[in-house]
Chains A and B, each alone.
Chain A
């Protein structure tokens, strides 16, 4: 069965520190993975998708099939990065499964 695990419910870092939000997945097929972000009082929005291999707002994420991971990283966290982050897996065409989420708190 497919599964997405985000082991940290809450991650607190100081401004300027590196941040890594962990995501591990379990899926027998070829995975398509995404990071979604929800800022306070805003709607859920896409941050990154693995297929694009892009950097958005300084965040990057690399799919590691050997470790079945898709960790989200940023070298220097900013206060405006404080938000809820969800890792999501797309499977069977239009099915999406969201991890439990990690709340990132960037302290000044």
Chain B
């Protein structure tokens, strides 16, 4: 299995809702990433997990809460979001790069989030 899967494909939520985005990979990758992509903009890195530990948080507001339950799964918990948080949320995975080698990132199809 060489794909990264994300669920749901689309999500509409109100500002008071709590929801979660899910990402899964079975390629044995030990680095997993969350990106946010607004329309006609490049992906922006949000979080990186390395060996199931949060290694990078790009100053993301606390209304976004990542979780990595095991080496194959990555969640993004959403609470009290704002309309400006509407975007495509991309998950990616790769071999961990701390070894000094260069590994490519494999991206999921994304979850299209709309906050009303």
Residues of A within 8 A of B (CB): 32, 34, 43-46, 49, 51, 86, 90, 92-101
Say yes or no: A95 contacts B45, CB within 8 Å.
yes
Instruction: Pick the contact of B102: A44, A51, A86, A98 (CB < 8 A).
Output: A51
Query: Given the interface contacts A99-B42, A100-B41, does A94 sit within 8 Å of B55 by beta carbon?
Result: yes
Which residue of A has the minimal Cβ distance to B104?
A: A46
Query: Given the interface contacts A94-B33, A94-B55, A95-B45, does A44 sit within 8 Å of B97 by beta carbon?
Result: no
Further pairs besides A32-B102, A44-B90: 6, Cβ < 8 Å: A93-B98, A94-B94, A98-B42, A98-B43, A98-B44, A100-B41
Which residue of A has the minimal Cβ distance to B48?
A: A94
Whether a CB of chain A sits under 8 angstroms from the CB of B111 is: no
Which residue of A has the minimal Cβ distance to B110?
A: A43
Query: Given the interface contacts A93-B97, A93-B98, A94-B50, does A86 sit within 8 Å of B42 by beta carbon?
Result: yes
Main secondary structure of the interface of A (DSSP, over half): strand
Say yes or no: A101 contacts B102, CB within 8 Å.
no
Which residues in A have their C-beta under 8 angstroms from that of B56? 92, 94-95
* Per-position 1/0 for B6-47, Cβ under 8 A of A: 000000000000000000000000010100000001111100
Which residues in B have their C-beta under 8 angstroms from that of A51? 102
CA distance A96 to B33 in the complex (A): 10
Say yes or no: B42 contacts A95, CB within 8 Å.
no
Which residues in B have their C-beta under 8 angstroms from that of A98? 42-44
A43 to chain B, nearest CB (A): 5
Number of B residues, CB within 8 Å of A: 24
Which residues in A have their C-beta under 8 angstroms from that of B104? 34, 46, 49
Give chain B interface residues in 87-114, CB to chain A under 8 Å: 90, 94, 96-98, 102, 104-110
Instruction: Pick the contact of B42: A32, A45, A101 (CB < 8 A).
Output: A101
A47 to chain B, nearest CB (A): 10
Can you show 23 pairs from A to B with CB atoms below 8 A apart?
A: A32-B102, A34-B104, A43-B107, A43-B108, A44-B43, A46-B104, A51-B102, A86-B42, A90-B97, A90-B102, A92-B56, A93-B50, A93-B55, A93-B97, A93-B98, A94-B31, A94-B55, A94-B94, A94-B96, A94-B97, A98-B44, A100-B42, A101-B42
